[in-house]
Amino acid sequence: MKSLFEQSIISFSGVYAEKGVALYGLRNGNLEMLVSNLGARVVGLWAPGRDGKRANVCLGYRSAEAYMSDEVYLGAAVGPLANRLANGQFTLNGKTYQMPVNAGKNCLHSGALGISKRIWKVRRVVEDSIEMSVEVFPENHQYPGRVVFHLRYTLTPENVLEMYCETVTDSPAPVNVTQHNYYNLKGEAGGDIADHWISMKADHIVEVGETFIPTGKLLPVENTPFDLRGGRVIAHALSEPHPQIALAGGFDHTFVFSPHRPWEEPLVTVVSESAGRKMELFTNQPGVQFYTANSLKTETPGFSGKCYGHRGGFCLEAQNFPDAINQPGFPDSVVTPDHPGAFYAAYKFSVI
C-alpha cells in the first residue's frame, strides 16, 4: 500500500497536469517534503516529534485546483514585491509604475503580476533538492523590465529546509521575495498555535497605519507585546493591549533584525512543547513578517481533510521591509543587471 506521501504525488495535479503542473517529493532521512511547480508551493513538510513519529507541519491542500483558487498564499513563493505596496505604485528613475491593486487601494504580494500561481519550469530534481525558475514579463507599465527568479529548495542532513532565490533583471527594479509557509508544529490540523512559544532577536518592528502600509517609523519593542527577545508563549503576548495588535487582530508585523547580527545564530525560535518540536529560522534578510493567521479562513479542506481557521498556523516570512521602494529610510530594494538579488532563508527542525 502506498503511503500518504506517495498517494499525494499521484493525485495532486488533476486537470492541471496538461498545463505542466506537477508535485515532487523530497527526502533527506528525517524530513520529507512535497513541493509543486505551481507557485513553487511547499505543499507539505513532515518532521519528527517527541513521539518519534513524523507529522506534517505545513498547512496545504491536496490538489492543484485548490491552490488555483487559494487567496491566502499557502506555502507560496512570493514576488516580485512581497507584502504591501502603497497605492500599488512606485517611482523609479523618474518613471511611475502601477502594479495591480488587490488589497483595498494597495497591492498585496504583487497581485496578478505575482509568481504565486505561475507554473514554474523545473530545472533539476534530486532526492533532497529541487531547482526551478519563472519569468515575469510586465505589461502596461506595471513593472520595469523582465525579471527571472531562480529558486532552490533543499533538505539538508542537519534537518534544515533551505530556500535560496536569485533574482535577475534586465533593468533596475525593486524586488522583495519571501516564502509564505504556514506552520503548525503540532501538525497542520493541530488547531490554535497560540500555545506555541516564540523568541525573536528583534529590537524594533515596522509600524503600520490603518491599511497596513508602513508609516516609516520603527517602534522599539521594549515594554510592548512585541518584545519576544526573551521568549514568550504567543497567547500571553497577544493578551497584552497595544494599538498595533488591535489594528491587525494579532501579530502581522515586520520584526527588524540587526544588520550586525551573527549569521550563524538563529534569529527566530518556535517551540511546541506538546509536540516536542522546535523550529529555528536563519536568513540574510533584514526582517521577518510574523503573522499569526489572524484572518485565515479556508473553504477548501486542507491536507488532513479539515478547513483551516483563525490562528490555525503562523508565518515567518523572511523579507525586506514592506513598501521599501517608497520609504527613503528603509533598506534598498532595487536589483540591477549588475547586482542580482539573493534571498536565503533556512528553517531548522529538531526534537525537544
Cell readout for 138 is: 510586465
CB atoms within 10 A of CB 175: 23
Residue 90 · residue 143 · CB < 8 Å:
no
Residues 6+ away with beta carbon under 8 Å from 246: none
E runs forming strands in 170-260:
173-174, 178-180, 197-200, 204-208, 214-220, 232-233, 252-256
Find, among 74, 84, 77, the residue nearest to 313 by Cα.
Answer: 74
Spatial separation of the C-alpha atoms in residues 317 and 86, rounded to whole Å = 19
Residue whose cell numbers read 521602494: 325
**Catalytic: 141?**
no
Residue 115 · residue 40 · CB < 8 Å:
yes
Residue 38: DSSP 8-state: B
DSSP 287-334: EEEEE--TT---SS--TTS----TTS-BEEEEESPTTGGG-TTSPP-E
The catalytic residue among 109, 180, 204, 253 is: 180
Spatial separation of the C-alpha atoms in residues 316 and 288, rounded to whole Å = 6
C-alpha of 264 from chain center: 21
**Catalytic: 317?**
yes
Spatial separation of the C-alpha atoms in residues 52 and 351, rounded to whole Å = 9
| Residue 50, Ramachandran bin (φ over 0: left; ψ between -120 and 50: alpha; else beta) | alpha
Give me the active site residues, please. Answer: 180, 317
